[in-house]
Amino acid sequence: MRQGVFLMTEEMNPIPGQAGEELNELMQARRDKLAAIIDKGIEPFGRHYEPTHHAQQVTDQFADLEGKTVRVAGRIMAIRGHGKAGFANLRDMSGQIQLYLRQDILGDDAYDVVHQFDLGDIIGAEGEVFRTRTGEVSIKVASVSFLTKSLRPLPEKWHGLKDVEIRYRQRYLDLIVNPDVQRAFLVRSKMIQALRRALDERGFLEVETPMMHAIAGGAAAKPFITHHNALDMKLYLRIAPELYLKRLIVGGFEKIYELNRVFRNEGISIKHNPEFTLLELYQAYGDYQTVMKLTEEVIAAVAQEVLGTTQISYQGQAIDLTPPWRRITMTDAVKQFAGVDFAAIKTLAEARKAADDNGVHYEPGHGIGGILNAFFEAKAEEHLVQPTFITRYPTEISPLAKRCQDDPEFTDRFEGFIFSREIANGFSELNDPMDQKERFLAQVAQRESGDAEAHMMDEDFVTALEYGMPPTGGLGIGIDRLAMFLTDSYSIRDVILFPHMRHRDTNEG
RNA sequence: GACCCACUAGCUCAGUCGGUAGAGCACCUGACUUUUAAUCAGGGAGUCGAUGGUUCGAGUCCAUCGUGGGUCACCA
């Protein structure tokens, strides 16, 4: 067999230079230093250290700290030797601080250890805070503690790491050498914190519902399929938590949210990752107006808290998140941007002719509502740069939303758009079990005619509605996309720590 | 899934017309006690993504494959 040990090793270790390969010159040099450190009786992979300050604090509080002794810990990012003295830049989570290392202060033995330092090593240092001749706040190191030896060379200090494949596959390297990357994920983290706080303040309760579903419902999407061995049953990774959250509204919870991952078995692009983070919330006794208002308020509040402003810039485009956002019905948007008035279109034949005349693509299964939506996506969406709510979605494409009081062909539903991208989706929840059952049946029919994204029948959900669900407003917000706007990230991969990549395989044809 | 582009030292990149592979940083040796992309002198480092083909000769031309990126389609 050609698939010997070597191929197995490659497959299990997608990172170049792993065990089994010969060490290159740079790695050998580090192993040699490792041995030298061990020879001196020092543990190269340490156990414990208690820093008194972060790097940034030392700089910020220089006036108070000058002449005082501090302990810091972090990764060595630069070394500048000067014979019997030297400088090193130490990086921790807060930033960098310069260390000044002198043989006459450290002593010969300790200074020998300093000579074994490599870029990337993690050390602790204790010493007096001072300012150098050139004005840089530094620490005159009296003692160093070796905490972790780094056995691989870091990417270059000046140009950083640019190879996007390595950046995503080995995100830790990206985080070490590209400070902006860490900042983006910090913003994402704060944004999620701010969101939770905004919802908690408004009396919402965070809940957790199953990620593995026997029936994949709550959205139009292809699910990932898995299998439970003991129960010998097919399970789907959830495409949305919606149907479980509404069961909780039936159960008596009044304001709930879930902020977690959903999984959709679809293409990957700068706007799509197979798993992404979705916020869904439900407010009993509210409607789509309630949650539409909540959407603009919460997004503006989060931007204000995280960035200090509701005026953001995305890819060079100024965007004003300040409420209230523009509101326009889908029919009016199509009329405005495509010049086609669907209020005057009463038959499928007329809708199809309008689409044909305007070069709008539609599927054979589309009704008037589906064609209206196709018009909207083809002609109107691109114009929705500033935050805009599109309302009155066709019932045909909204199987879980309540019909409008004045027209059963439309629903009390909205989607929020920023920079032409859908960022929020909300509606008055359908709580009529008989209507819901009919909508499911229509979805099942579509599914049987080949639409893999149409809903499955969920009898238990209908049963829950039969016990009675109060009128409810529901909302979903795409967290990754919101993070993209707040961090001015071009690709969704830049706000997901470990975006999905193809599995690295062996090189056999 | 279709099309376009990329893949050269640990990293960032050059490489002309097809003629034995280059730079900066990093690394190694030496000098240097306030430098900061430290400096100075010397040195080592490559399966040019993989496989096949054309050719006297391929990093360079051709084909297939792999991985990544982009655009489109689908989707939030």
Q: What is the interface pTM, i.e. ipTM, of the complex?
A: 0.90
Provide mean pLDDT across the span A201-220: 95
- Count of alpha carbons within 13 angstroms of residue A32, beta-carbon side: 8
pLDDT at A228 over 70: yes
| Whole-number Å distance between alpha carbons of A130 and A97 | 11
- Strand B–CB A359 distance below 7 A: no
Distance in angstroms: CA A16, C1' B53: 29
Residue A337 contacts by C-beta under 8 Å, 6 or more apart in sequence?
A379, A380, A383
Tell me the nt nearest to A476, Cα to C1'.
B76
Cβ < 7 Å from strand B, A residues 249-268 = 264, 266-267
Tokens encoding A166: 């390595």
Tell me the nt nearest to A423, Cα to C1'.
B76
| Whole-number Å distance between alpha carbons of A437 and A443 | 10
Report the pLDDT value the prediction gives residue A278, as an integer from 0 to 100: 96
pLDDT at A508 over 90: no
Chain B: bases < 7 Å from a protein Cβ = 1, 9-13, 24-28, 31-39, 44-45, 49-50, 64-76
Provide mean pLDDT across the span A463-485: 97
Q: What is the pLDDT of residues A255-283, one digit of tens each?
A: 999 999 999 998 889 999 999 999 999 99
Report the pLDDT value the prediction gives residue A504, as an integer from 0 to 100: 64
Provide mean pLDDT across the span A320-327: 97
Q: What is the pLDDT of residues A38-87, one digit of tens each?
A: 999 999 999 999 999 999 999 999 999 999 999 999 999 999 999 999 99
Provide mean pLDDT across the span A33-40: 92
Report the pLDDT value the prediction gives residue A49, as an integer from 0 to 100: 96
Report the pLDDT value the prediction gives residue A266, as an integer from 0 to 100: 87
The residue with tokens 């990620």 is A211
A22-26, A225-229, A277-281, range with the lowest pLDDT = A22-26
Report the pLDDT value the prediction gives residue A16, as an integer from 0 to 100: 40
Distance in angstroms: CA A30, C1' B39: 25
* Gyration radius of chain A over CA positions: 29
Provide mean pLDDT across the span A119-145: 96
- What percentage of chain A reaches a pLDDT higher than 90? 86
Q: Is residue A453 a contact partner of residue A446, using CB atoms and an 8 Å limit?
A: no
- Strand B–CB A425 distance below 7 A: yes
Report the pLDDT value the prediction gives residue A450, as an integer from 0 to 100: 80
Helix (H) or strand (E) run with residue A261 in it: strand A255-263
Provide mean pLDDT across the span A463-488: 97
> How does residue A10 score in pLDDT terms, banded at 50, 70 and 90?
very low
Tell me: cis bond preceding A324? Omega within 30 of 0 counts.
yes
pLDDT at A12 over 60: no
- Laid out side by side, the sheet with A233-237 consists of A212-213, A233-237, A225-228
- What percentage of chain A reaches a pLDDT higher than 70? 94
- Nucleotide B27, nearest residue via CA and C1': A26
Q: What is the pLDDT of residues A337-379, one digit of tens each?
A: 999 999 999 999 999 999 999 989 888 888 999 999 999 999 9
Residue A487 contacts by C-beta under 8 Å, 6 or more apart in sequence?
A183, A184, A187, A188, A494, A495
pLDDT at A9 over 90: no
Report the pLDDT value the prediction gives residue A295, as an integer from 0 to 100: 98
- Strand B–CB A134 distance below 7 A: yes
- Strand B–CB A98 distance below 7 A: yes
- Strand B–CB A117 distance below 7 A: no
Provide mean pLDDT across the span A467-495: 96
Provide mean pLDDT across the span A1-29: 46
Q: Is residue A257 a contact partner of residue A279, using CB atoms and an 8 Å limit?
A: yes
Report the pLDDT value the prediction gives residue A7, as an integer from 0 to 100: 28
In Å, how far are A92, A370, A380, A417 from A412, measured between CA atoms?
Answer: 51, 16, 20, 17
Report the pLDDT value the prediction gives residue A135, as an integer from 0 to 100: 94
Distance in angstroms: CA A505, C1' B67: 9
Provide mean pLDDT across the span A92-105: 96
Q: What is the pLDDT of residues A164-205, one digit of tens each?
A: 999 999 999 999 999 889 999 999 999 999 999 999 999 999
pLDDT at A6 over 80: no
Q: Which residue has the higher pLDDT, A401 or A507?
A: A401
- Nucleotide B44, nearest residue via CA and C1': A25
Report the pLDDT value the prediction gives residue A15, as an integer from 0 to 100: 40
Report the pLDDT value the prediction gives residue A23, as an integer from 0 to 100: 65
Q: Is residue A249 a contact partner of residue A235, using CB atoms and an 8 Å limit?
A: no
- Strand B–CB A50 distance below 7 A: no
Tell me the nt nearest to A277, Cα to C1'.
B76
Tell me the nt nearest to A266, Cα to C1'.
B75
